[in-house]
Structure formats: C-alpha cells, structure tokens
Amino acid sequence: MSGIYDVSSGRPGDGPGDLQRLLSQWPAAATRRMGLGRQVLAAGLASAMLMAAPLAQAAGGTCDPDKLYDILSSSFHQTTAQLADDRGWAGWGQQMGGTTNIAPPRSIMGSSPVGGTNIGDAFPDVKPLLVTTGSATTSHQTVALGDDGKFYAWGSQGTVLATGFTSGADVHATTLSLPAGVDATDVALLFASYQFLAIVANGNVWVLTPSSSSDLHGDGGSATTDNGWHKVQTDAIGNPDLDNVIAVRGQASAGGIGAVMALTADREVYTWGSNIYDGAGAGRASNSDTRVTSAFAKKMTLPTPVQAGAKPDSVTLTSEARLIPA
C-alpha cells in the first residue's frame, strides 16, 4: 500500500515550505499533550491528509517545490518530503537507508544537507526530482527520478520495481528507462504502490507493473510496452490516450488485484483496474461483492452532489481499493 499526499496552507498563492517549516506550524505544546514527537506527527500527516490543489497548475509541468501535489510520499513505515527552494528531498522511516532505518530525516542523494550524511551519498551529484515509496506489510522500496534522467531505487527488492530492474538494497541506479520521447523534466508526478509505478508526463499517464496485473496497465491489457511502460488509454471509441492528467492514485496487491484513479485538470475522474467503482450503479461494496473490471481508463459517474456543481479537487483510495473523489 502506498499514498502520496498534499499539504497546503490553504491560502491562495502560498506554497508549502520545507519539512521544518511545515512542522513549525504545529504547536509544540499540542504535540507534547498528544504524546507525539514532531517526526511522528509528520508521518501521521503524510498518511492521513490529502488536500485540494490549485488546478491552475499545468499538467506535465516541471518539478517545483511550491506545487501542492506530491510534496510528501508515505507508505507503511516510511516517508519522503520535498524540500523548499529547490533543495531536493529528505526521507525517514523503515528501510529508508536501504537495509537500515532512518530517524530523524536525512537528505536523499545530492539534496542540500539535512540530518548529516545523505541517503545515497555515493551519488552526490544527482539531485532527485521526484521520490515515491511503496510497501507490502513491512517491506519497503523507495524510487527516485534523478535530474540525470535515471531511476534510482533502494530498500526491499521486488516491492515496487521488478527485481530485473534492480541490483541490491542500497541506493543504486536501476536499469529502468523513461518511455521513449519523455525527458526527466517532462515528468510531473511519480507514484508507487505494491509492484506498481506510474508517472504523469505531458499530461499522459504511463504505468509499469507485472504482466499478471494487465488490468492495471490501462491500455486494454496490451502486451506492447515502451521500455516496459504502458501508456494509459480511455475506453472511448478508438481508445485515445488519457490526457490532461494532473494526479494519479492507486492501490495494488498480490495477484494483480487493484485499482487506479486519475484526476484531470478539468476535474474529471477516470478509473481502471480489476477492482474498481465506476459510479454507474456498479462496484464493490464489500469483500463478497462482484468486482468490476476495466482494462481501459473509464470516466467515472460522480456522486450526485458533485454532479450538481461541486467538482472534485483531489482523489485517493482506501486499502480496499475503493475510489474516493474529494
């Protein structure tokens, strides 16, 4: 299970600051009364909060610490946070050091120093543009896209990326490449779940997941890939590419069961996978109900209050793969 969460001040035009500024906004007395240290509180925020993001943010924009999507990425016992002022990323939690746990937060690779020796200090000249993390119970794997266009990974092999792409638990450059024609600066979002990785580039969605999870590919289960990536298409006539996307969330589990949701800049919601709710009177209400499957991205019929004019600003999923627009 994994999630990437947005934290905002709620004031128009006011972007989030770095980790320390975020935590400083929470009164220290309150954390003491709750019996929580600020680091634990940050992990809780990352695991529980998904707030609205301004939709003026261009789909496919370059990495920007002031954007409100994907400032924090959190999985079971692990969190990464993007720092302000183009200073990179920091991380903490279980297996964040590859084979070791990290607390308090430390910088990742060539990010500006936070907390002493950087995670992945063998790559001081590589700045991570985007970082995400996924987990399966207590196994974690972190994936970063560097400014050199390479993907880096560390932690428990096979948790997010197939073992054929990786070569160990410590921070290392993988053999995974971006889809043809996609540059690192084209990638606006990086999202991970169990054996699942997605990017949003130039408004399109690309998915990397095992062949056994063909419904999660979003391209009709096609065996054709671009450097291993599947480009998500819709179920409209001719199966055009899903585009204008600003956010992707997903949940995947063993056996390829799972669901993915995408939010577009005009606040339409699409979903695909083996365990989805499309809003059209069908879906999974409990573990015993029939699952609805769509191998292409299917436009959701949104709940009546939303149809009445309150368009969703954000989306997320539960561990049961129920899709929730908010």
Mean pLDDT in order along the chain per 10 residues (326 residues): 33 36 39 34 34 29 50 83 86 86 90 88 92 85 94 92 92 95 94 92 93 85 85 95 93 74 91 77 46 85 66 70 49
Instruction: Name the 3-class secondary structure at 212.
Output: helix
One-letter amino acid for residue 150 of the chain: K
Q: Are 267 and 311 in contact (CB under 8 A)?
A: yes
Round to whole Å and give the CA distance between 267 and 313: 7
Q: Give the pLDDT confidence score for residue 93 in this predicted structure.
A: 86
171 within 8 A of 183, measured Cβ to Cβ: no
How far is the C-alpha of 33 from the C-alpha of 12, rounded, in Å? 31
Q: Parallel, antiparallel, or unpaired for β 89-93 and 78-82?
A: antiparallel
Phi first, then psi: give them for residue 87, nearest 5 degrees: -100, 5
Largest CA distance in the chain: 58
CA angle 236, 1, 194 (to 5 degrees): 70
Whole-number pLDDT of residue 126: 94
Q: Residue 254 has what pLDDT?
A: 64
pLDDT at 101: 86
d(CA 29, CA 116): 27
pLDDT (0 to 100) of residue 318: 63
Question: Which residues share a beta bridge with 187?
Answer: 201
